[in-house]
């Protein structure tokens, strides 16, 4: 029997060329389309090309080297994710009213529901501690990360989503109606006559106003010491974040610097124009491995200018600023436009910020200043009472 193996090589440019250009790109795509087993539409080609450009920007950032290959900063957002992100930045989303996360226990392959808020999930009988096994017909392990699952759970007001949940060893199914959910980006409470607690979960369009209102409440009862909890905070809007940081700065303080990548001369310096209403407070700032981006910007100001003490675990290490470019087809391109530095010209990119008092990585469900068993919070209270 004669076995014939046909190998076909298609060369569209000089094999010694080391760079790519438009001619190489279009000639290669044309050859692939003619000979590939799979057919691609024009839309698929351009979507893949744009995705490749954004992936290359991520390589330049280097963040994914520390966070893992699935972590993407520069990415193409489909219309559903774009709408959801816009809602988050406004403090409004359409969803089921539940908080979910992956635990650090590697035996748990399913995300866990950590908190159920008033809304569709609560009405359907979903409970904190349930594990999500499937969303509609998609198994949990088929999603490209946690956010991919969250966007699948979200949707339009009045539509329904079916969750398959693992509870006490049994699989149960709940059909939930999505609702519009308005939420605060901060929470606070008075711990005692001297200390107040402020939890900044995410920095959106409402955060600055929320914190101003809370500062007024603290001043009414003559509070002079604050615990700022940034554990689990992924940052948020840059401009709003600068305003928030300035609340804790004194006149003339350099709160943050931004430079374009690899161009040290192109620098924007953000300076406090007046004493912020919280500038005289004694501060303890709580952080963990999820504290990221503009939340780290806040921490960097506190540390570099010695405004307070930082307690917890090494932060995430994202020191970049992104912009979102809306596209005519409803998609959006999110990409990096600058790197963040503190007042001492130091950046925490890819390494994070080391607390003044460090703790090992602790699994926490962020139960709004839960005094029971929260060692980091107790250390902060003892520090402020000194």
Q: Which fold has domain 186-385?
A: 2-enoyl-CoA Hydratase; Chain A, domain 1 (3.90.226)
Return the pLDDT at 64: 47
DSSP 333-371: EEEEEEEEE-TTS---TTT----SEE---------SS--
Tokens standing for residue 206: 């409402």
pLDDT of residue 264: 56
Domains 92-182 and 186-385 share a fold: no
At the topology level, CATH places domain 92-182 in Pdz3 Domain (2.30.42)
Task: Tell me the three state secondary structure of residue 245.
Answer: helix
Distance CA 185, CA 213 (A): 13
Per-residue pLDDT of the chain (386 residues; tens, 9 = 90+): 443 334 444 444 455 456 888 888 889 888 988 898 988 898 999 999 999 999 998 888 775 455 555 678 898 988 877 777 777 777 778 889 998 887 654 455 788 998 888 889 999 999 999 999 999 999 988 887 777 888 889 888 899 999 999 999 999 999 999 998 877 899 999 999 999 999 999 999 999 999 999 999 999 999 999 999 999 898 899 999 999 999 999 999 999 999 986 555 578 999 999 999 999 999 999 999 889 999 999 999 999 999 999 999 999 999 999 999 999 999 999 999 999 999 999 999 989 999 999 988 765 444 445 556 789 999 999 999 98
The pair phi, psi for residue 197, each rounded to 5°, is -120, 130
pLDDT at residue number 144:
76
pLDDT at position 262, please?
Answer: 58
Distance CA 243, CA 302 (A): 14
Instruction: Yes or no: say if 199 and 187 are a contact pair by the CB < 8 Å rule.
Output: yes
Domain ranges of the chain: 92-182, 186-385
Q: What is the pLDDT of residue 199?
A: 95
Could you give the 3-state DSSP secondary structure of residue 251? coil
Q: From CA 55, how far away is CA 315, in angstroms rounded?
A: 24
In Å, the largest CA–CA distance within the chain is 94
């Amino acid at each position: 029997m004669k076995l014939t193996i046909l190998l076909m090589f298609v060369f569209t440019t000089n094999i010694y060329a080391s760079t790519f250009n438009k001619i190489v790109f279009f000639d290669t795509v044309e050859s692939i389309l003619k000979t590939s087993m799979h057919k691609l539409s024009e839309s698929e080609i351009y979507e893949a090309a744009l995705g490749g450009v954004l992936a290359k920007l991520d390589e330049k950032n280097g963040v994914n080297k520390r966070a893992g290959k699935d972590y993407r900063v520069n990415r193409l957002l489909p219309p559903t994710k774009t709408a959801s992100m816009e809602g988050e930045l406004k403090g409004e989303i359409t969803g089921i009213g539940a908080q979910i996360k992956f635990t650090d226990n590697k035996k748990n392959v399913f995300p866990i529901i950590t908190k159920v808020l008033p809304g569709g999930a609560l009405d359907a009988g979903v409970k904190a501690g349930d594990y999500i096994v499937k969303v509609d017909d998609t198994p949990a392990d088929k999603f490209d990360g946690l956010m991919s699952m969250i966007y699948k759970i979200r949707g339009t007001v009045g539509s329904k989503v079916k969750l398959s949940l693992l509870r006490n060893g049994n699989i149960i199914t709940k059909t939930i109606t999505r609702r519009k959910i308005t939420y605060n980006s901060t929470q606070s409470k008075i711990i005692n006559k001297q200390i107040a607690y402020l939890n900044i979960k995410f920095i959106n369009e409402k955060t600055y106003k929320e914190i101003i209102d809370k500062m007024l409440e603290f001043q009414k009862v003559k509070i002079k010491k604050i615990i700022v909890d940034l554990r689990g905070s992924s940052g948020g809007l840059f401009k709003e974040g600068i305003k928030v940081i300035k609340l804790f700065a004194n006149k003339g303080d350099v709160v943050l610097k931004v430079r374009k990548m690899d161009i040290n001369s192109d620098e924007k310096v953000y300076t406090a124009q007046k004493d912020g209403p919280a500038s005289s407070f004694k501060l303890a700032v709580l952080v963990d491995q999820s504290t990221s981006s503009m939340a780290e910007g806040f921490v960097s100001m506190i540390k570099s200018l010695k405004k307070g003490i930082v307690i917890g675990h090494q932060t995430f290490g994202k020191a970049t600023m992104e912009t979102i470019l809306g596209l005519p087809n409803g998609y959006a391109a999110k990409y990096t436009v600058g790197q963040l530095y503190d007042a001492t010209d130091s950046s925490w990119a890819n390494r994070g910020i080391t607390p003044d008092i460090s703790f090992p990585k602790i699994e926490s469900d962020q139960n709004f200043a839960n005094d029971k068993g929260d060692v980091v919070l107790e250390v902060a209270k003892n520090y402020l009472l000194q």
